[in-house]
């Protein structure tokens, strides 16, 4: 196969400064709604990039669970590789690859842990099997065989029986507080439209257009 032959033209209507909302969160919510309405398979899937204790960047897909002017929310195991990386370096990046719409959104910001109340509220809304999985998995740690993990799942089911499953003390939410947000719209002949929102000391957002 000749991978250099894989290319196509981007034929969207483009993106202009005049069409942008002055608030990047409002602009993001509009694009996310269009991704949902467009039938994208996983519109809330985002790549989370972190830097570990040895300075290595690493990415994985997580799911967006809430967005507001406060930031972008996701949940995970605090002891996971990403949890340890964020404890070491709170500066992270998020990436939404909405390829079907010829769009992507890139976010740079810092993470903070959400409150126990917020994390508990979300945890109790999850399917019971997902709650069990959170307790059973020592996320990112080696396991000799999948059978060992399934054994732990069975053990946790017996432990909690039919009662309410509590929030694990090693599991909860993170909020990414954005400092920069880029909106990318594919353009014909690779002349893509790129607009960067940068948070100013005043709390206002400055918008600049970037060359493709």
pLDDT score recorded for residue 1? 74
Which DSSP symbol is given to 168?
A: P
User: Going along the chain, which residue ranges are E strands?
Assistant: 45-51, 57-63, 66-68, 71-77, 91-98, 103-113, 171-185, 193-199, 205-210
Mean pLDDT over the full length of the chain: 95
CATH classification at residue 195: 2.30.110.10
Question: Is residue 53 a part of any domain in this protein?
Answer: yes
pLDDT score recorded for residue 141? 87
Question: Is residue 190 a part of any domain in this protein?
Answer: yes
Please state the pTM of the whole predicted model: 0.92
User: Going along 14-140, which residue ranges are E strands?
Assistant: 45-51, 57-63, 66-68, 71-77, 91-98, 103-113
Can you tell me the mean pLDDT for 54-64?
98
Classify 14 in phi/psi space as left (phi over 0), alpha (psi -120 to 50) or beta: left
Question: Is residue 131 a part of any domain in this protein?
Answer: no
- Tell me how far apart the alpha carbons of residues 160 and 10 are, in angstroms, rounded to a whole number: 52
Is 190 an active-site residue? yes
Question: Is residue 115 a part of any domain in this protein?
Answer: yes
Those residues whose C-beta lies under 8 Å from the C-beta of residue 117, and which sit 6 or more positions away, are none
Can you tell me the mean pLDDT for 30-40?
97
Identify the sign of the CA torsion 17, 108, 119, 156: positive
pLDDT score recorded for residue 143? 83
Question: Is residue 156 a part of any domain in this protein?
Answer: no
Q: How confident is the model at residue 4 (pLDDT cuts 50, 70, 90)?
A: confident
- Tell me how far apart the alpha carbons of residues 90 and 85 are, in angstroms, rounded to a whole number: 8
- CA 135 from centroid of its chain's CA atoms: 22
- CB burial of residue 50 (10 Å; 0-12, 13-18, 19+): buried
- Structural domain harbouring 65: 7-119+169-210
Can you tell me the mean pLDDT for 25-47?
97
Question: Is residue 136 a part of any domain in this protein?
Answer: no
The residue behind tokens 């991704």 is 35
Identify the sign of the CA torsion 203, 84, 72, 194: positive
Q: How confident is the model at residue 11 (pLDDT cuts 50, 70, 90)?
A: low
CA angle centred on 180, ends 179 and 186, rounded to 5°: 160
- CB burial of residue 27 (10 Å; 0-12, 13-18, 19+): buried
Question: Is residue 143 a part of any domain in this protein?
Answer: no
Can you tell me the mean pLDDT for 36-47?
97
User: Tell me: the pLDDT tens digits for 147-192?
Assistant: 988 999 999 999 999 999 999 999 999 999 999 999 999 988 888 9
- Tell me how far apart the alpha carbons of residues 185 and 20 are, in angstroms, rounded to a whole number: 12
The number of folded domains in the chain is 1
Question: Is residue 173 a part of any domain in this protein?
Answer: yes
Identify the active-site residue in 128, 138, 141, 190. 190
- Tell me how far apart the alpha carbons of residues 88 and 57 are, in angstroms, rounded to a whole number: 12
User: Tell me: the pLDDT tens digits for 82-111?
Assistant: 999 999 999 999 999 999 999 999 999 999
């Amino acid at each position: 196969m000749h991978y250099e032959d894989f290319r196509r033209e981007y034929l969207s209507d483009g993106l202009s400064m005049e069409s942008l909302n002055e608030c990047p969160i409002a602009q993001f919510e509009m694009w996310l709604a269009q991704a949902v309405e467009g039938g994208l398979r996983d519109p809330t899937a985002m790549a989370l990039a972190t830097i570990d204790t040895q300075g290595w960047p690493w990415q994985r897909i997580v799911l967006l669970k809430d967005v507001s002017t406060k930031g972008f929310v996701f949940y995970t195991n605090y002891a996971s590789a990403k949890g340890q990386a964020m404890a070491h370096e709170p500066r992270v990046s998020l990436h939404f690859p909405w390829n079907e719409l010829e769009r992507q959104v890139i976010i740079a910001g810092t993470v903070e842990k959400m409150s126990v109340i917020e994390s508990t509220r979300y945890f109790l809304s999850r399917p019971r099997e997902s709650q069990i999985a959170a307790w059973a998995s020592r996320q990112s740690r080696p396991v000799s065989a999948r059978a060992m993990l399934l054994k732990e799942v069975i053990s946790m089911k017996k432990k909690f029986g039919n009662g309410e499953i509590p929030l694990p003390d090693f599991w909860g939410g993170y909020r990414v507080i954005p400092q920069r947000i880029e909106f990318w719209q594919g353009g014909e002949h690779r002349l893509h439209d790129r607009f960067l929102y940068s948070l100013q000391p005043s709390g206002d957002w400055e918008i600049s257009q970037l060359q493709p």
